[in-house]
Structure 1
Amino acid sequence: MLQTEDALKEATQSYLPDKKPAKDETEKESELTDEDKCPWCPADDNTYKELWVACFHCHTWYHTECAKVQDVERYARWCCDACQKLGYEHTMQGPRRVSKRERATTDYAAIQEGRPPDPLGRWEKYMEHCSSLKSCVRRVEGSIWTSDWLANDPEALSAPTLVSSLTDEKGAATIQGMRVPPRSTSIRDIAQKVGMETQVEVIDVRTQMSSSSWTLEDWVDYFETPAAQREKILNVISLEVTGTPMESMICAPAMVRENDWVERDWPTSKRPVCEDARKWPKVQRYVLMGVKGAFTDFHIDFAASSVYYHVVWGRKVFLFAPPTPANLSAYRAWTCSSRQEAEWLGDALHDLSRAEIQTGETMLIPSGWIHAVHTPQDTLVVGGNFLTDYSIPMQWRLEEMEIATKVPRKFRFPHLMRLAWYVAYEWTQKLQKQSAPPAILSNLPHLHRRLQRECENMLEVDAQGQKTLKARRSSEAVPYDCIPDPNVLLETLQSLLENTPRKRQRT
C-alpha cells in the first residue's frame, strides 16, 4: 500500500458543527474526558453537554451552552470571541419570518482572485477544471469481488475498484451476496419504510452546516420540489437504516461481510434491533440522498474505514488522491488552514484523479483514500463503512489522530476499542485451528500492540492512587464475558502469531 506510519501521523480531518451523540450507558455524567469538555467549560463543571458548534475561522469546538449560542441554526458562520477580536464576524442566516431564502455574503477576496464568490460556484468551477483528469478506478467484473481476491491479490486494495451496472433492475446481481433497492425506489418509498417522523441530519451544502431538526417527511417534501424551486442545496449522507424495514433491502457484498470486523466478530446477540446506535457499531447500511449541485469536500472516512458504495439511480463524480506521504501532509495543512473554505486542496494533491459512478454501479473505496464527491443530478445511493484486517495500520493511525485532535465522537467509528477486543478474541480462536493469509498475519501485530496499550492504560492511577478515567474507560471497553483476562488473551495471541506458519501468497 501507499501509506507510511510517519505520513499517517500527519493527517487529520475536517468536521462539520453539529450534535454529539448521547453518552453510552457505561459513561457516568460525572466522568468526563477532555473530549467531552470545550475550552470554555468551567473547571468544576462535570455536566455533559450534547450540542456543539465549531468556530468557522479557527475550527475549535465549543459547547453552545458555554458559548451562549441559543439558536445555532440561525448562524451561517459562527466565530469564537478570540477570532472576533481578530476581525472575523458571525454571518447570520437572515430573519426567517421575512424569508426562508439565505442572504449570501459577498466574498470580495474571491472576486479579486478570479474565483466565483460563493462555495457552490467555486465547486462548479473546480469540477470543470478537473473534468479532463484520468481515472484511477479499476473496472472489474462483480465475480472478482471475493475474499480470495483480497487474500491473494496484492493490488486488490491498492486503488478504488468499480463494478459496472446491468441494464435491468438488478444492478448488483453480478456481485456475490449483494442486495440493493430496485431502481424504481423513490425517496418517498424510503421515508415510508423507515418512518416519516424519523429525524434525519441534513447538510446545507453552501454553508456546510448541518441540522438535526428535519424529519424524513420534511426531506421528502424538499426532494420532491422541482430543482428550480429549491431555495437551498441540501444533502443527506448519514441515514443508517439497520433495524428498520429498509434493512432487508440492503445487504453488503459477501466479500465485505466476510471481512468486516463488525459483521464477522461482533456477537449477533449484542446487536439490538433498534434505531439506537449507541449499543453497537451500526454503520453497515447508509442511505445517501443528494440533489443536483450537492458536494462533500475532501475527507477520509472515520477510522480510515473502507467503503462500499452503490448508486441506485443518478450519478456521482469522485475526486480521489492516494494516501501518499505528500498527499497526507497537504491534507493536514489544508484541514488546519483558516482559509480552508476558500482554498482548493486539489491543487496540492499529487496523482489527483476523477471517476464517475453511474446508475447501477458499485464502488469499493480502500482505507485512507482522500476523496471529494460531487452530485451532478438528483441521486440515491446506498452503502456502508467497514474495518478490515487488511488495513489495520492505517485504521489505527487515523484513530490516534482523531483522539489527538479531539474529534467529537459523532465523527468517529463507534465502539472501536470494544470491537478490536472482539476481533482479537476471534483471531485467537481461529489461529489455533488454521493459518491466515500473509497480508493479515503481517497486520495482526499492529492490533496486538494497540490492545497492549489499552492494557497499560488500565494500570494508570492518579496522585491519590485511584484509577484514572482513562484506566476506567479502557477497562470498560473489554467484553469480559468472553475475555475474562485481557492480558492472557494478548499473550495467547502473541504466541500464536509467533508460531503460526506463513502461507505463501499467490501471485
Structure 2
Amino acid sequence: MARARRRPARNAARTSGTSPLSSREPTPEPEVAAAAPNTHTTGAEACPGCTTESSASFNQFEKESWIRCDVCKTWYHWRCASTEPPSFLSEDDKKDYNIDKIDKWYCKPCLDKDPSRVITLKAPTRKSDRKRNYQDYANLNLGLTSDPTRWMRMLENKTFKPDKFKRMHGSEVTVEWLEEDEDAMMEPFVVEKPDGLGMKMPPSDFSVELLAEMVGEETPLEVIDVATQSASPGWNLGKWADYIELEPEAREKIYNVISLEVTGTKVGDLVLPPKLVRDLDWVENFWPGTRKGKGHPYPKVQLYCLMGVASAWTDWHIDFAGSSVYYHILRGSKVFYFIKPTPANLAAYERWSGTELQNSWLGDLVDEVIKVTLTEGNTMIIPSGWIHAVYTPLDTIVFGGNFLHSFAMPMQLKIRKIEIATQVPKKFRFPLFSKLCWYVGDKYLRDLKGPAGVLYPARVLTSLLALADFLVSEVRILERGSDQAKKEVKEQIPADRVKDPAAVARELRWRVRVAAGNASDDEGATVKTNGAGVKRKRTAEVEDERPRFKNFKPRRWDNVVEKSDEEETRVVKAHKPVEDDEAWKERWVEWTTNGVDDAADVQVKSRTETIVRIRRTGEGLERQRVERVVESWEWVD
C-alpha cells in the first residue's frame, strides 16, 4: 500500500527533496537529478522527479506531500510524481483525484519495467443514511444505562415529605445563633434573599461566556455525563460555553458541572461566602495565611461555580468529609431531595454506595425523603452529613462552597469513615483533611493553655473531643502502624506548627476533658452532653494529682519558685453540709458567708500559695505567676 506524508516545502526547497524517512543531515541535490529528472536511483534521498524548475517553484511556507513507490520504496514529491488519473475513473472522480485516494502507487521506472502493474485507489467509504444506535459497552458492563431521563422516571411514583425547613433572614444567621440554639444547623435552612448574609455574588446577568473569558477558555473542566454519572473527557471552559449556547433540543447529551473551583481567578474576586461560613470555616480561620500562597497547596473548596443544564441530575451523595455547604442560586432553579443522616439512613447509604444497589432509588431504603425547591436569589446552608440528590429543571448557575467547622466534628469523622469503607478515591475526598485537623488541634490547644481561659459551648467541646480522639488515632498509627501507614500519617503533620504530634494530640484531649468538667486521663472515656452542658462518666480519679498519659512530655520550666504566706484565721457563719443534702456541693462552689441565717460559727484558716515559673521561648521569655488560696473550714461546736 502506498505511503503518503506531508512536510514543510521549505525543507524540500533547501535540500531539493529530502526523504521524510531520513534522519540524516540533508545532502546537496545530486546533479543527476537536475539533469535527468526521470533517472531512477534506488535509495536516493532526493526526489528523483525534481527538476531545477520544479524545485524553484516550491513555496517554503507550504507543506509538501510525498508518496512512496510500493516496489522500490523510493519517495517522490506528489507534484513531481503524479501521473494521469487511471482511465477507469469517471470524469467527476478524475477531477477529485488526489494522493489521499491512492491505495497502490508505482513510480514511472517501475511501471516501465513491468507494464502489468496498475495504480489502484482505495475503496470508497460506505455511507448510510440510517441512524445508528451506538451502545456504551463500558457502562453496560457496570450495569449503567445511557438514558439521562431514567432519573426522572424513577421519581414519578415516589412520595416525598413536605419541606418544613426554616426560612431565615440573613441577619439572623450568626455565630451567636449557633451557640445559643441547640438545634441550629442540625438541618438545612433557606435564606430566600441574600440581604443580611454578608455575602457577595456576581451580578444576576453573569453568563457562562463571561466566566470562560475571565477564567480562560482553555481551562480544563471536569464535566459529568448525566446518563452515566461519570466524567466526560476532553472539556475546557470554551467548549462548555459553546455547549451552553446550544438550544436544549440541539444538545445530544445532558451534561453537568459541579467541581469548578474559582479561587484565585477574576471570578473568585466577585464571590464572598456568607459571614457565618467565613466565621466557622476551618480553612479560613486555622490554615496559616503564609501557607496559602503560590507553591503552597491548601484545601481550595470554598468558591465553586456549578453549572447545570435543563434535566441535569446529580445522584445521591454526601459532600466530602461531611463538610457543610453554602449554596446560592445566581440564576435558574434547583430541586433538592434530602435524607436525614440518622444512623439507619447512613448505614443504608453505605450499603447503597458503590454497589449494584446504586442503580436503584436510595429513597426506598430509608425512612423518608424531603423535597425542597430553590429559585433565583435563594441561599441554602446544608449541614454536615445530609444525604442529597439534585435535579435541575432549567439552565442554572450556582455559586457555593464547602467548609468544615467546630460544631460538627463527630459527623464529619463519621462520613470520612464511610468514604474509606466504600473506597472513595482520594481525589474525591476533602483535600488535606488530616493536615487541616492538625492545624485546628494545635490552635485549640494553645487557646486552652492560655492564661485567660476560653469557655466553649457544649457542642464545641463534644466536637473538639472527637477531633482530639482522631488525632490520637493518627498518633497510634505513628507508634504501631506499618511503614507505609506511618509515612502517610507523617506527611500530613504540619512540621511548621506541630513539633511533637503525640504530645499535642494527647494534651489536647486532656485539656478538652478538663474544660468539660473532668480531668481523667482514661483513654477509653467518653463525654456525654445534655441541655445544661457537658458531663463525663468517670472511671478513675485521684484528687490533686496531675493526669498522666502515654507519650505526654510537657515542656520543662527553666526555674520554678514556690512560696506560701502565713496562715490566717477568721470566724464566719455558714450552713454545715449534712449527709442527706446533696445540693451543698453546688452551693459551696460559690458560697457567700454574709447574711446567712440559722448558721453556725465556722473557723476558717487560709493561706495563699504562689508559684512563679519562667522559661525561655523562641520569642524571648515566658513568665507564669499562679496564686492559689487554700482554706480549711471547721465548724465550732
Judge same fold: TM > 0.5, yes or no.
yes
Shift of 1:459: 2.2
Provide the secondary structure at the position in 2 that maps to 1:357: strand
Count residues with an aligned counterpart. Answer: 386
Shift of 1:272: 2.4
2:151 corresponds to 1:123? yes
**8 Å Cα contact 2:334-2:390 kept in structure 1:** yes
2:512 corresponds to 1:494? no
Q: How far apart, in 1, do the equivalents of 2:129 and 2:419 lie?
A: 41
Q: How far apart, in 2, do the equivalents of 1:202 and 1:194 lie?
A: 16
Structure with larger RCO (C-alpha < 8 A, sep 6+): 1
Q: Deviations over 1:50-83 (max 9, x none)?
A: xxxxxxxxxxxxxxxxxxxxxxxxxxxxxxxxxx
For 1:254, the equivalent position in structure 2 comes to 275
Q: Deviations over 1:253-307 (max 9, x none)?
A: 1111111111110011111258xxx811110000000000000011111111111
Q: How far apart, in 1, do the equivalents of 2:130 and 2:439 lie?
A: 53
Alignment of 1:274-285 (within 5 A): 279-285=297-303
Structure with more of its chain in strand, by fraction: 2
Q: CA 1:492/1:98 → structure 2, altered by over 3 Å: closer, same or farther?
A: farther
For 1:298, the equivalent position in structure 2 comes to 316
Q: How far apart, in 1, do the equivalents of 2:309 and 2:258 lie?
A: 11
Q: CA 1:451/1:345 → structure 2, altered by over 3 Å: closer, same or farther?
A: same
AA of the residue aligned to 1:388: H
Q: Deviations over 1:396-437 (max 9, x none)?
A: 122223223332111101001100000001111222331212
Q: How far apart, in 2, do the equivalents of 1:98 and 1:416 lie?
A: 54
Alignment of 1:424-435 (within 5 A): 424-431=441-448, 432=450, 433-435=453-455
For 2:389, the equivalent position in structure 1 comes to 372
Q: How far apart, in 2, do the equivalents of 1:288 and 1:101 lie?
A: 33
Provide the secondary structure at the position in 1 that maps to 2:235: strand
Shift of 1:174: 2.5
Name which of 483, 496, 512 aligns with 1:481. Answer: 496
Q: How far apart, in 2, do the equivalents of 1:248 and 1:495 lie?
A: 42
Q: CA 1:174/1:472 → structure 2, altered by over 3 Å: closer, same or farther?
A: same
For 1:445, the equivalent position in structure 2 comes to 465
Q: How far apart, in 2, do the equivalents of 1:421 and 1:99 lie?
A: 62
Q: How far apart, in 2, do the equivalents of 1:99 and 1:506 lie?
A: 74
Shift of 1:212: 4.1
2:179 corresponds to 1:148? no
AA of the residue aligned to 1:329: A
AA of the residue aligned to 1:416: F
Q: How far apart, in 1, do the equivalents of 2:167 and 2:175 lie?
A: 18
469-478 vs 363-372, which moves further: 469-478
Structure number, greater radius of gyration: 2
**8 Å Cα contact 1:197-1:216 kept in structure 2:** yes
Name which of 238, 242, 254 aligns with 1:233. Answer: 254
For 2:215, the equivalent position in structure 1 comes to 194
For 1:393, the equivalent position in structure 2 comes to 410
For 1:315, the equivalent position in structure 2 comes to 333
For 1:183, the equivalent position in structure 2 comes to 204
Provide the secondary structure at the position in 1 that maps to 2:398: strand
Q: Deviations over 1:426-468 (max 9, x none)?
A: 1112223312121101221111111111111112366xxxxx0
Q: How far apart, in 2, do the equivalents of 1:408 and 1:448 lie?
A: 25
Provide the secondary structure at the position in 1 that maps to 2:507: helix
Q: CA 1:326/1:505 → structure 2, altered by over 3 Å: closer, same or farther?
A: closer
**8 Å Cα contact 1:314-1:359 kept in structure 2:** yes
**8 Å Cα contact 2:326-2:400 kept in structure 1:** yes
Q: How far apart, in 1, do the equivalents of 2:502 and 2:511 lie?
A: 14
Root-mean-square deviation (Å):
2.7
Q: Deviations over 1:139-193 (max 9, x none)?
A: 111111111111111111221000003xxxxxx2321x21111111001111111
Q: How far apart, in 1, do the equivalents of 2:244 and 2:317 lie?
A: 25
**8 Å Cα contact 2:169-2:195 kept in structure 1:** no
Provide the secondary structure at the position in 2 that maps to 1:185: coil
208-217 vs 286-295, which moves further: 208-217
For 2:195, the equivalent position in structure 1 comes to 173
AA of the residue aligned to 1:436: Y
**8 Å Cα contact 1:152-1:505 kept in structure 2:** no
Q: CA 1:401/1:329 → structure 2, altered by over 3 Å: closer, same or farther?
A: closer
Q: CA 1:296/1:145 → structure 2, altered by over 3 Å: closer, same or farther?
A: same
For 2:229, the equivalent position in structure 1 comes to 208
**8 Å Cα contact 1:243-1:273 kept in structure 2:** no
**8 Å Cα contact 1:140-1:161 kept in structure 2:** yes
Q: CA 1:100/1:375 → structure 2, altered by over 3 Å: closer, same or farther?
A: farther
For 1:355, the equivalent position in structure 2 comes to 372
**8 Å Cα contact 2:350-2:422 kept in structure 1:** no
**8 Å Cα contact 2:326-2:382 kept in structure 1:** yes
Q: How far apart, in 2, do the equivalents of 1:376 and 1:100 lie?
A: 29
AA of the residue aligned to 1:281: P
AA of the residue aligned to 1:319: Y
Q: How far apart, in 1, do the equivalents of 2:481 and 2:362 lie?
A: 43
TM-score (norm 1): 0.71
Q: List runs of 5+ in structure 2 lacking aligned partners.
A: 1-127, 138-144, 518-528, 534-637
Shift of 1:219: 0.2
Name which of 156, 167, 189 aligns with 1:139. Answer: 167
**8 Å Cα contact 1:136-1:159 kept in structure 2:** no
Shift of 1:499: 2.6
AA of the residue aligned to 2:265: T
Q: List runs of 5+ in structure 1 lacking aligned partners.
A: 1-96, 107-116, 166-171, 463-467
